[in-house]
Structure 1
Amino acid sequence: MSVVTQARVVEHLQRLRLGYLAERLDAALAEAARSEPTYLDFLDQLLQQETAAKQRKRIAMGIQIAHFPTVKTLDDFDFKFQASIDQRLVRELATGRFISQAENVLIFGPPGVGKTHLAIGLGRAAVESGHSVLFTSATALIGALAKSETEGQLAERLTFYSKPKLLIIDELGYLPFERRSAHLFFQLVARRYERGGTLITTNQLVTQWGTVFGDEVLAAAILDRLLHHSYTLMVQGESYRLRQKKKAGLLGQSSRREA
């Protein structure tokens, strides 16, 4: 291949937005010269490489947009340690079908048992499946909604939180909501109802949500929409953080000092 022809091929690849192939054309040609594939096999290899590169780029961008607080995957989750979790249901949720059906997931459990890990893992799986995802803590969400209301931009902020196919709200119930905050949360839930999937982690059972939101009627209205099309996961067991402290002997040392 002449230099002029190669430059023209690279230009065509760039115009077609086949950037990965444009960057590694020399390497692809050198490899083809050694293995001498058929024209069809060579084209098949090139298209597979470009498709894989675009998929990696899309996933990386989706993860960045999601704003996950840490890097967690479902493969990293210790299901043996938290044997109470329905692993089959988790794997089903990881397919993302619940998102396509605009269904919700509620993960209940005490602090430290892996609820956030599961939420991030399911969120990453959703990104890999092609869904848009946004992760936020409950306190950050309410803070953003309250600020936008004060600035006269509540509609825009509600639209922002309504756009992702999956919205993950972490740590609901750790702090009680003020009455106005509870109403803002209801507006978001009502707007996403049957339009997008919502995943919530919480340390409070549904029977305690009236206390969380400071209003039994409002809590019932929120739960009615969240539970209508939903899956629930109950996580019971020891805290991961306490287990690590026990392994390190920190709890024992503390107990001896206090004694």
Structure 2
Amino acid sequence: MNNFTYERLHNNLQYLKLNSIKELLDNYLEIAARDNKTTMEVLDYLFEQEKKHREAVAIERRMKSAVFPVKKTLEEFDFEFQKSIDKKAIEDLATLRFVHNSENVVFLGPPGVGKSHLAIALGIEVAKAGISVYFTNTGNLIEKLKIANREGMLEKKLRDLMKYKVLIIDEIGYLPFDEEGAHCLFQLISRRYEKSSTILTSNKSYGEWGEIFKDHVIAAAVLDRILHHSTTINIKGESYRLKERKKQGIKTGNICQ
């Protein structure tokens, strides 16, 4: 390869933004010459590395856009501790069939049992699969919707949230909604109904959602749209935080002895 060809190749790789190939090229051509690799093998390897790099960048971009509060994976979840959860049901959700079918997922249970962990973990699987996802706390979501409503921008805000194929709404039920907040959330759920997927977590049973919305009619309407195509995971186990406190207590006891 003469210098002119070499320079043109690098310039073209830079122009086409094939940055991974550009970085790997020199070293890999030496390896290819040493190992007698064919042209096809060289091209296959270099373009495969470029694809992997772009996929990794895209995943990182979607992860950043999702604004997960922490990184939690399914591999980290302790199914042995939370025996009330059917692991196969979670594995089925991880196939993301529910996303392709525009179905919802609801995690119910008391504080600390892993609802948010599972919701985030599924969200990460969504991001890895190349699907748009966004995480929000219920309180923050309601406040933003109410502000948009007062400014005459609710329609735009709803359209923005509809851009995400999966929306995770965490901690429904920790604080009740006022009438305006309940109305705004109803608009959002109605807009997403049968068009995209919503993952929700709540410390309240469905029978208590009327208290959250302070309106049993709106609560029933919201639940009707959420549950029509959905999977509910009811977690009845002990709090992980309580488990950790007990561990600390045992350690402390051992030290005192």
TM-score bin, normalised by smaller chain: over 0.9
Q: Per-residue displacement from partner, 1:165-222 (whole Å, max 9, x unpaired)?
A: 0000001111011111000000000001111100000001100000010000000000
Deviation at 1:162, TM superposition (A): 1.3
Paired residue for 1:256? Answer: none
Please show how residues 96-175 of structure 1 align to structure 2 within 5 Å.
96-175=96-175
Give the Cα separation in 1 of the matches to 2:115 and 2:169.
11
Paired residue for 2:80? Answer: 80
**SS where residue 75 of structure 2 aligns?**
helix
Paired residue for 2:32? Answer: 32
Q: Is the 8 A contact 1:95 1:126 kept in 2?
A: no
Deviation at 1:11, TM superposition (A): 2.3
Deviation at 1:75, TM superposition (A): 0.7
Paired residue for 1:95? Answer: 95
Give the Cα separation in 2 of the matches to 1:205 and 1:140.
21
Matched AA of 2:208: Q
Long gaps (5+) in structure 2: none
Give the Cα separation in 2 of the matches to 1:229 and 1:166.
14
- TM-score (norm: length of structure 2): 0.94
Q: Is the 8 A contact 1:135 1:168 kept in 2?
A: yes
Deviation at 1:251, TM superposition (A): 11
Deviation at 1:149, TM superposition (A): 1.5
Paired residue for 1:195? Answer: 195
Percent identity of equivalent pairs: 46
Give the Cα separation in 1 of the matches to 2:171 and 2:251.
25
Q: Is the 8 A contact 2:137 2:169 kept in 1?
A: yes
Matched AA of 1:188: L
Give the Cα separation in 1 of the matches to 2:252 and 2:50.
55
Paired residue for 1:217? Answer: 217
Deviates more, 1:179-188 or 1:146-155: 146-155
Deviates more, 1:174-183 or 1:6-15: 6-15
Deviation at 1:15, TM superposition (A): 3.2
From the superposition, tell whether residues 250 and 3 of structure 1 become closer, same or farther in structure 2 (CA, over 3 Å).
farther
Does residue 63 of structure 1 match 2:58?
A: no
Deviation at 1:144, TM superposition (A): 0.7
Paired residue for 2:49? Answer: 49
Matched AA of 1:135: F
Give the Cα separation in 1 of the matches to 2:251 and 2:206.
32
Give the Cα separation in 1 of the matches to 2:99 and 2:15.
34
Matched AA of 2:157: R
- TM-score (norm: length of structure 1): 0.94
Number of residue equivalences: 253
Does residue 18 of structure 1 match 2:18?
A: yes
Give the Cα separation in 2 of the matches to 1:211 and 1:251.
41
Q: Is the 8 A contact 1:102 1:194 kept in 2?
A: yes
Deviation at 1:51, TM superposition (A): 1.2
Matched AA of 2:21: L
Deviation at 1:80, TM superposition (A): 0.7
Give the Cα separation in 1 of the matches to 2:126 and 2:10.
34
Q: Is the 8 A contact 1:104 1:229 kept in 2?
A: yes
Q: Is the 8 A contact 1:108 1:204 kept in 2?
A: yes
Deviates more, 1:26-35 or 1:119-128: 26-35
